[in-house]
Amino acid sequence: MQDIDLEYERYKDFDFSGATHTKNPKILEMQARKKAYDKFMTFFDTEVREIILNHDTPQDRMRLNAVIKALYVNV
Task: Express each pLDDT in 27-68 by its tens digit.
Answer: 999 999 999 999 988 999 999 999 988 999 999 999 999 999
Domain hosting 51: range is 22-72
67 part of a folded domain: yes
Distance CA 30, CA 35 (A): 9
Overall pTM > 0.95: no
Q: What is the pLDDT of residue 1?
A: 56
Distance CA 29, CA 35 (A): 10
Contact yes or no for 49/56 (Cβ under 8 A): no
Q: Kindly tell me if the per-residue pLDDT of 14 is higher than 70.
A: yes
Contact yes or no for 44/52 (Cβ under 8 A): yes
14 part of a folded domain: no
Specify the number of domains making up the chain: 1
Q: What is the pLDDT of residue 18?
A: 93
31 part of a folded domain: yes
15 part of a folded domain: no
Alpha helix locations (H) across 1-75?
6-11, 25-41, 46-54, 58-72
